[in-house]
């Protein structure tokens, strides 16, 4: 029983609203009664940032002005993508329309149109946090490639079995890894500005990322290119022409081998 309670207390929620409105206060009370740790913040980046380290779920109770606050919306968009936090919007149809000009609907955990049923929202939060815990048990793979079509394709292959994050530049990868953990990085060998070898060197030079396994992905299959890539000592070197089943097999073999080493 104690373990279950501890688990719930780790599910921190941040309610974002202008002032302690009746709805926000009541929602905060009911969520606490359901076993969650709940804080409230004004819809400003400074206020929300104070709770960034301990928040898993952001519930934004919008009004006519806050739904158009670009800084607030960009902050929530970023935490949903870069930190894989859950964002729930509450508002009128017009407010939801304005907010989703910035936050893609696909990046929302849920949304509720006012007037909303508070018990339904609390049930949804329980469902989302349960799914979050299940997802966290999966291995996390970061895919880095400037080819967005390739990113989406590989993401679709892996998303059922693994937690998958995608970024389209080397610097985005460094930023993502500064805030998140990856069990494996699939890294495009050739990218503009900062290429794969440079990113690998950066990762190996930092204590927080030096032990993250890296697979190079490349479209070049000539002998010189392969030898050059292998010389940089990635954990694997894969051609981008690899199919879904072959890639899944490579990943399975790698993670099984890692498990056997422990």
The CA distance from 189 to 214, in Å, is 11
What is the reported pLDDT for 135? Answer: 65
Is residue 154 within 8 Å of residue 177, measured between CB atoms? no
DSSP code per residue over 49-64: HTTGGG-SEEEEE--T
The CA distance from 54 to 41, in Å, is 13
Name the band, by pLDDT with cuts 50, 70 and 90, for residue 151. very high
Nearest to 133 by CA among 260, 6, 11: 11
Mean pLDDT along residues 145-152: 92
Among 79-83, 165-169, 181-185, where is mean pLDDT lowest? 79-83
Asked whether the predicted pLDDT for residue 153 surpasses 50, the reply is yes
Domain ranges, ordered by start, for the chain:
2-135, 138-261
Query: For 51-95, how does the pLDDT look when each residue is reduced to its tens digit (9 = 90+)?
Result: 988 899 999 999 988 888 999 999 999 999 888 899 999 999 999
Asked whether the predicted pLDDT for residue 260 surpasses 80, the reply is no
The CA distance from 37 to 14, in Å, is 9
Please state the φ and ψ torsions of residue 37, each to the nearest 5 degrees. -85, 125
Name the band, by pLDDT with cuts 50, 70 and 90, for residue 134. low
Is residue 145 within 8 Å of residue 169, measured between CB atoms? no
Tell me yes or no: is domain 138-261 CATH 3.40.50.2300: yes
111's tokens: 């949304």
The residue with greater pLDDT, 229 or 32, is 32
Please state the φ and ψ torsions of residue 261, each to the nearest 5 degrees. -70, -25
Query: What's the pTM?
Result: 0.56
Question: What is the domain class of 2-135 according to CATH?
Answer: alpha beta
Is residue 239 within 8 Å of residue 218, measured between CB atoms? yes
Asked whether the predicted pLDDT for residue 129 surpasses 80, the reply is yes
60's tokens: 């934004």
Q: Do domains 2-135 and 138-261 have the same CATH topology?
A: yes
Percentage of the chain modeled with pLDDT above 70: 92
Asked whether the predicted pLDDT for residue 232 surpasses 80, the reply is no
Residue 108 is classified by DSSP as -
């Amino acid at each position: 029983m104690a373990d279950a309670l501890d688990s719930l207390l780790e599910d921190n929620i941040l309610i974002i609203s202008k002032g302690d409105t009746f709805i926000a206060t009541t929602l905060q009370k009911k969520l606490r009664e359901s076993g969650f740790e709940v804080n409230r913040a004004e819809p400003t980046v400074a206020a929300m940032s104070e709770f960034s380290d301990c928040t898993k779920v952001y519930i934004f109770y919008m009004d006519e002005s806050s739904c158009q606050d670009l800084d607030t919306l960009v902050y929530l968009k970023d935490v949903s993508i870069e930190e894989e936090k859950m964002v729930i919007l509450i508002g009128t149809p017009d407010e939801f329309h304005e907010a989703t000009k910035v936050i893609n609907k696909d990046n929302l955990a849920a949304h509720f149109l006012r007037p909303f049923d508070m018990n339904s929202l609390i049930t949804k939060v329980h469902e989302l946090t349960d799914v979050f815990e299940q997802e966290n048990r999966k291995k996390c793979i970061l895919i880095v490639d400037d080819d967005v079509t390739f990113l989406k394709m590989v993401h679709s292959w892996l998303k059922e079995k693994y937690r998958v994050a995608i970024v389209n530049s080397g610097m985005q990868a460094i930023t993502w890894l500064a805030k998140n953990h990856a069990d494996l990085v699939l890294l495009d060998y050739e990218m503009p500005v900062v290429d794969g070898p440079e990113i690998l060197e950066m990762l190996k030079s930092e204590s927080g990322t030096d032990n993250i396994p890296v697979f190079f992905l490349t479209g070049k299959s000539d002998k010189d290119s392969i030898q050059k890539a292998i010389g940089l000592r990635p954990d694997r070197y894969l051609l981008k022409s690899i199919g879904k089943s072959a890639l899944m097999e490579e990943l399975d073999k790698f993670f099984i081998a890692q498990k056997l080493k422990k």
